[in-house]
Amino acid sequence: MASIRLDHKNCEGSNCGACAYACPTNVFSFEEDDISVKSPDFCKLCNVCLEVCPQSAITIEKIEIAEIFEGI
Residues near ligand SF4, by CB under 6 A: 4, 6, 11-13, 16-19, 22-25, 27, 35, 43-49, 52-55, 57-58, 60
| Neighbour-count burial of 61, counting CB atoms closer than 10 A to its CB (0-12 exposed, 13-18 middle, 19+ buried) | exposed
Closest by alpha carbon to 24, among 52, 58, 5, 3?
52
> Pairing relation of β-strands 28-31 and 2-6?
unpaired
Cβ nearer to ligand SF4, comparing 3 with 68 = 3
User: Least distance (Å) from ligand SF4 to the CB of residue 59?
Assistant: 10
Cβ nearer to ligand SF4, comparing 61 with 72 = 61
